[in-house]
Amino acid sequence: MKYRILHKTRYDYEVDVSLSQHIAHLRPPSNARQRCTEFRLTTKPATALKADHEDYFGNPTTFFSIQGDHRRLEVTARSVVEVMPLELPNREQTPPWEIVRDRCRSEKTGPAADAGDFTFESPMIPHLPGLLNYGAPSFPPGRPILTCAGDLTERIFQDFKFDPKATTVATPMERVMKRRRGVCQDFAHFQIGCFRSLGIPARYVSGYLETSPPPGVARLIGADASHAWVQIFVPDLGWVDIDPTNNVFPNDRHVLVACGRDFDDVSPIRGVMVGGQEHTLSVSVDVAPLTPGKPAKPRADPSPSGPLA
């Protein structure tokens, strides 16, 4: 699948901002799973300085600075990304989860050793007793890792309610666990916490979903904003994507943008400013499939939505 992605972010400030500096994770990377063929980031007002680099986790990152008084900042990212279909192995033929845990603990070099960094708690995903209590029933002795992961994903999908009004970006994990409702960020954080409590490396993924699927194909939850899901590391397979919000193992309808320990590492835009005081934020995302061999038709901008589904 090939997609054209339009991501618009607007900040309206209460008073003038004289200087602001921002870090953006908006450029989809090119890797074995996908290929970003076009990317353009523009701002109003125009940037005084802009530079691209890779962050600690290898994510494409853009630094930009805005100088001069302004009460509104608009950031527009346009991308074209080709996503390759994935073929996961039979879940029952994947290694027992204890083997995955032990290899990531014991290997001193290589991918499994590097993945072991993602078994520790992080700022937004602390080690809480409730995470192990919830996750353990999906991990009986000897059970294949992807069977365990699928079972845990389905349980979260059934037990937790998608409710955009229940949480904010700053809602602590304890409250999500207690209320069992929230959005994709909350479900991803919770599932990552469950995996890590069992010693399974897990990391947070930010990205996009196809906004308007083909006729007869169900629309995925969270398609009108940046989406979030999970990856776990399985030796000899690598990082495997899991979407607890939609109870699926992602294929070619998910576009990856950035990976980190939790949302705090991969926020689409974050920054500091001089002035501004209070501000309002609006975000809109449109992910349109491109028909092979045909030019893309213009689409109306979607209605503003929250920064995360």
- Give the model confidence (pLDDT) of 132-169 as tens digits: 999 999 999 999 999 999 999 999 999 999 998 998 88
Please say if the pLDDT value at position 223 is more than 80. no
Please say if the pLDDT value at position 286 is more than 80. Answer: yes
Residue 219 pLDDT: 72
pLDDT for position 300 = 31
Q: Are 25 and 268 in contact (CB under 8 A)?
A: yes
Task: Please say if the pLDDT value at position 291 is more than 70.
Answer: no
Structural domains in the chain plus CATH codes: 2-83+267-289 (2.60.40.2250), 91-265 (3.10.620.30)
Tell me, what's the pLDDT at 46?
A: 95
pTM of this prediction? Answer: 0.89
How do residues 46-103 score in pLDDT, each as one tens digit? 999 999 999 999 999 999 999 999 999 999 999 999 999 888 889 999 999 999 999 9
Beta bridge partners of 66: 20
| Model confidence pLDDT, tens digit, residues 94-115 | 999 999 999 999 999 999 999 9
β-partners of residue 40 are 78
pLDDT digits over 183-199, tens only? 999 999 999 999 999 99
